[in-house]
Amino acid sequence: MLLPALMARAEVPVMAPSVSGDAGSNQDILVVRLYQTQARYSGGLALLDLALGKLNRPYRIIRPETQVMNEARGERLVIQGQLDLQFMSTTPERERAMIPIRIPVYQGILGLRLLLAKKANAQALSRIRSAEDLARFTGGHGSDWGDLPVYAANQLPVITNPNYEGLFRQLIAARFDYFHRGLNEIWDEHARYQDQLVIVDDVMLFYPLPTYFFVSPFRPELAVLLETGLRRAYADGSAQDLFQSLYGERIAQANLRSRHLIILKNPDLPERTPPIDTSWWLPE
């Protein structure tokens, strides 16, 4: 199945880095610095580690023990060369400012959205069958997230917040009605807030939301190496195995066949964005 698919220098706190690969090699260690360390980024970090491991050279990933900056600040540091990469949904602006590697990090699963809500609103939300129905409710959204134009283009009202955890607090406080989350994100998030929030039954959203590794313009050699590693990982099947190990149970748990699908348009995709082949993981 094919679905349609800058600031002053700042110190970045890092954990004690680990070295992987052949430490005895004469090659210089490949160092990759990034800011993303929240649990929602674990799949992308695992794919990054897998791809770098395909290069047959020592490498070091340096990232914070705790994520201390939001996406907007982290992106500025990548653009300036103080950090080396991020993985985010693609936009024309990001593709102009950084080097995109057009191999989807999440293989389309991030664009398949389920809804978190307070129990009092869940039944009404489960009955929506169109974007027009959904427009009667207000969603929560990160103010710096690349898919924000999707909600404007589909005339869906949202309340924004630059702070990721703050959005959950706002939902619990009934500042908005639902928080749309990727199929790869929602289960761990619900586990943290299961006393206050539920996953809405019977409905799901989809819009094309390719997430790429974006490499700093100051590290073009890293972009070449990372693309090489990713292509090797998909060629030998290890990337597909990683995807299934991370998300296979979550896909089954979502019971997708029982859900009504609402497709939203994403007008902000760059012109060169290829469609994502989801046929190997998405149930018909």
Do both 199 and 235 map to the same domain? no
Which residues are CB-neighbours of 68 under 8 A, at least 6 positions away? Answer: 13, 35
Do residues 74 and 164 make contact, with C-beta atoms less than 8 angstroms apart?
Answer: no
Do both 60 and 153 map to the same domain? no
Do both 181 and 120 map to the same domain? yes
Do both 6 and 141 map to the same domain? no
Do both 73 and 200 map to the same domain? no
Do both 154 and 260 map to the same domain? yes
Do both 81 and 123 map to the same domain? no
Do both 192 and 64 map to the same domain? no
Do both 58 and 141 map to the same domain? no
pLDDT in tens, the chain (284 residues): 333 332 222 333 333 344 565 544 446 999 999 999 998 999 999 999 999 999 999 999 999 988 888 889 999 999 999 999 999 999 999 999 999 999 999 999 999 999 999 999 999 999 999 999 999 999 999 998 989 999 999 999 999 999 999 999 999 999 999 999 999 999 999 999 999 999 999 999 999 999 999 999 999 999 999 999 999 999 999 999 999 999 999 999 999 999 999 999 998 899 889 999 998 998 76
Q: What is the DSSP string of 90-141?
A: --HHHHHHSEEE-S-SSTTGGGEEEEEE-HHHHHHHHT--SHHHHTTS-EEE
Residue 104 tokens read as 């989807």
Q: How many CB atoms lie within 10 A of CB 155?
A: 10
- Residue 283 in any domain: the answer is no
Residue 234 tokens read as 């998909």
pTM for this model (two decimals): 0.84
The CATH number of the domain holding residue 71 is: 3.40.190.10
Do residues 125 and 137 make contact, with C-beta atoms less than 8 angstroms apart?
Answer: yes
Residue 97, φ and ψ in degrees, nearest 5? -85, -25
How many independent structural domains does the chain possess? 2
Do both 42 and 101 map to the same domain? yes
- Residue 284 in any domain: the answer is no
Do residues 238 and 52 make contact, with C-beta atoms less than 8 angstroms apart?
Answer: no
Calculate helix-pair angle for 238-254, 220-235, nearest 10 degrees: 70
> How far apart are the C-alpha atoms of 228 and 80, rounded to whole Å?
24
Residue 231 belongs to domain spanning? 2-107+210-248
